[in-house]
Structure 1
Amino acid sequence: MPFIDNVLQEPSYGWRTPSGDLVIPTNRQLFREAFTRMNVFADRKNWVPAASWLMILCLLPFAIIAFGRYFSLPLLGIGILYGMVIMSTHATIWFHRYCTHKAYTFSHPIWRFITQNLVVKTFPEEIYVVSHHVHHAKSDQPGDPYNARGGLFYCLLSDVNHQPIAKNLSEADYGRVAGFLGHTGIQANSYRSYLRWGSVGSPLYTFGLWAANWAFWYTIFFLIGGHPLACTMFTGALFWYVVVRTFNYTGHGKGEEQHVDGVDFDRRNLSINQWRPGLFAGEWHNNHHLYPSSARAGFLPFQLDLAWLYIYGLSKVGMVSSYRDNKADFVKKYVTATNDQPAVDQPAVTQHS
């Protein structure tokens, strides 16, 4: 099998039917698969998907306290702002453009570490990065880990059911998978440890960083606004962590073609440019599929890109040493082009350093 077909752990219901179509499991099948995948007592290699949902459980008490004891409209607004804008933008900056697509490079590891921990930490890098490479290779096709054609719960439960890496990779293939994360600074398992834990990330590193990150940010928020602000911000992180699971469902037209002429230029997949993810997080998704390695995705005048502003700002003060920007190529091909539907070919890359 090609490497990209073998890199993720296939669910029990499979990716495709014998005829090659997408398997669309029932909600019962999806939840049964999820509970099986999170059962660390049956197999310690389930620790990554279990940790993903453990973080939700650990964030819940903050939400209960925030709403039950400290609720106010100003704090509600702050929590929504933190979750919908700051957490969302950070995910685009860190998980999407840096960890997965290497759209820019840091001049020193300290700037990478600071960027990694700019917000309350939620899920491990590997649960996003490896599966996102597969998503781009198989967008809206069988094997796409968050295929919108599979339905809302297919996407909501994808971090457990479809995104974990395969547990039986050869040493060479594991090396390639670990290479997807080599630039991120995470502590990767040796092949021997991978066979024991079924993951790229070391459990000790993953949980240690998680605890340190939470302790740091709770302390900072507490010093600024006491327990009310701290609980509110952690509630905002929970809100984002739950809502973000719907993104690839809506961002790919809920499994249907919803492209808009003059806005969505990449018709090779179902991705669309949406206002809220675009303005709040720089996630102009159709643009991103057109130029996945670009540090900027907001190409049209109305497409604000907060993630790009952060990356560009760091480059101006020397914290980012280089980045790729495809805006000029986009404008040339899709704004000034005389033909109505220019062919989608391999985009040119503008490298800045």
Structure 2
Amino acid sequence: MAFLDYVLQAPAYGWKDSHDDVVKPTSSQIFREFFSRLNVFRCKTNWLPFVSWLKVACLAPFFFLFLFRYMSLPLLGVAFVYSMIIMGTHGTIWYHRYCTHRAYTFRNRFWRFVTQNLTISVVSEELYVISHHVHHAKSDQPGDPYNAQCGFLYCFLADVNHQPISKQLSECDYRRICSLMKPAGGKGNSYAGYLKWGSYTNPYRAILSWLLNWSFWYLVFFLLGGNALACCIFGAAGFWAIGVRTFNYEGHGKGKDKKRKGTDYHLQDNSINQLWPGYVAGEWHNNHHLFPRSARSGYKPHQVDLAWCYIKMMSWVGAVSSYKDDKKRFYQRFYRPQ
């Protein structure tokens, strides 16, 4: 079996049936798997997906404080910009184009650290990176951790049900995990640590990093605008943390082939280009599946790509030392402007 066939922890309902067709679990099966994998008392190797949703739970009070105590039109505008544009674009810049696809390189660790912590920390690099490699290898096929053909819940709860790495990898396979996680920086578990915690990420370092990141940003926002601004932005981060879990379902046509001629050029899966994710986060998803290692995915004149703007700006100031841009290849192979 190829490494990406077994690198993720298979759900109890499996990836495919005896006929090699994708398994489409019922809602009750999905929820049963979800709560089982959140149970850290039953098994401590469930800690990473548990912390993933613990962050969401911790952001919820800020959201409700903002909603019922501090709400105002100016702060609502701030919340919109932070959740939809800043958090979304940062996700594309950091998790997607850098940590997973290595579409660009930083000049040094300092700029990598700055970019990693540009926003409130919500998403685990490990849960995102490894599963996303599998997603590209098996897009819309059995084994795709967020296969839109299996329904909304399958995608929405994927970070718990389908994205954690297998707990039974050999030492050789674990070294491959370490290689895939190298761009994210930081020190991962040894193989013995992986066997103990079921993850590349060390829980103590992860929790310390989380607390430092949130403390820093809460202090910054409090100094700028008091508890009102801090609750506004932390609440906005919580809103994004829920919303981003819907993207892969929408970005793959809700499980149906919704590609449009002249708009979507990658025909091997159901990924589609959408205006909203494209404009607010630089996520022109079909373009990305066409050239996954490109630091730019907005190729046509109307396809604004804020993530690419950040990467290009960082290149101008010397913080990014190299990047890959496939716009020319896209024009040569697929698009001739009128």
Report the TM range for the smaller structure's normalisation: over 0.9
The residue correspondences of 1:309-324 to structure 2 (distance < 5 A) are 309-324=309-324
Which segments of structure 1 move beyond 3 Å, counting only runs of 4 or more? none
Give the distance between the partners of 1:186 and 1:246, measured in 2 at CA: 29
State whether residues 63 and 239 of structure 2, in contact with CA within 8 Å, keep that contact through their aligned partners in structure 1. no
Which amino acid is the alignment partner of residue 150 of structure 1? C
Give the distance between the partners of 1:186 and 1:12, measured in 2 at CA: 32
For the pair 1:257 / 2:257, whether they are aligned, the reply is: yes
Give the distance between the partners of 1:4 and 1:184, measured in 2 at CA: 19
Partner of 2:24: 24
Give the distance between the partners of 2:19 and 2:141, measured in 1 at CA: 13
Partner of 1:169: 169
Partner of 2:73: 73
Deviation string, structure 1 residues 228-248 (Cα, Å, up to 9, x no partner): 000000011001110001100
For the pair 1:109 / 2:105, whether they are aligned, the reply is: no
How far off its partner does 1:40 sit? Answer: 0.5
How far off its partner does 1:172 sit? Answer: 0.3
Give the distance between the partners of 1:123 and 1:22, measured in 2 at CA: 27
For the pair 1:47 / 2:57, whether they are aligned, the reply is: no
The residue correspondences of 1:232-311 to structure 2 (distance < 5 A) are 232-311=232-311
The residue correspondences of 1:104-183 to structure 2 (distance < 5 A) are 104-183=104-183
Give the distance between the partners of 2:73 and 2:26, measured in 1 at CA: 39
**TM-score w.r.t. length of structure 1:** 0.95
For the pair 1:200 / 2:209, whether they are aligned, the reply is: no
Q: What is the count of residue pairs matched by the alignment?
A: 338
How far off its partner does 1:266 sit? Answer: 0.4
Could you say what secondary structure the match of 2:332 adopts? helix
Give the distance between the partners of 1:2 and 1:204, measured in 2 at CA: 32
How far off its partner does 1:76 sit? Answer: 1.3
Give the distance between the partners of 1:5 and 1:267, measured in 2 at CA: 23
* Alignment RMSD (CA, Å): 1.1
Could you say what secondary structure the match of 2:321 adopts? strand
Which amino acid is the alignment partner of residue 210 of structure 2? W
State whether residues 186 and 201 of structure 1, in contact with CA within 8 Å, keep that contact through their aligned partners in structure 2. no
Give the distance between the partners of 1:59 and 1:183, measured in 2 at CA: 27
Partner of 1:97: 97
Q: Gaps spanning 5+ residues in structure 1: where?
A: 338-353
Give the distance between the partners of 1:186 and 1:264, measured in 2 at CA: 37
How far off its partner does 1:64 sit? Answer: 1.7
Give the distance between the partners of 2:186 and 2:131, measured in 1 at CA: 17
Give the distance between the partners of 2:205 and 2:259, measured in 1 at CA: 42
Partner of 1:214: 214
**TM-score w.r.t. length of structure 2:** 0.99
Give the distance between the partners of 2:120 and 2:183, measured in 1 at CA: 21
Give the distance between the partners of 1:27 and 1:79, measured in 2 at CA: 32
Could you say what secondary structure the match of 2:334 adopts? helix
Give the distance between the partners of 1:186 and 1:38, measured in 2 at CA: 25
Identity %: 55
Give the distance between the partners of 1:130 and 1:5, measured in 2 at CA: 12
Deviation string, structure 1 residues 150-180 (Cα, Å, up to 9, x no partner): 0000000000000000000000001101111
Partner of 1:343: none
How far off its partner does 1:199 sit? Answer: 0.3
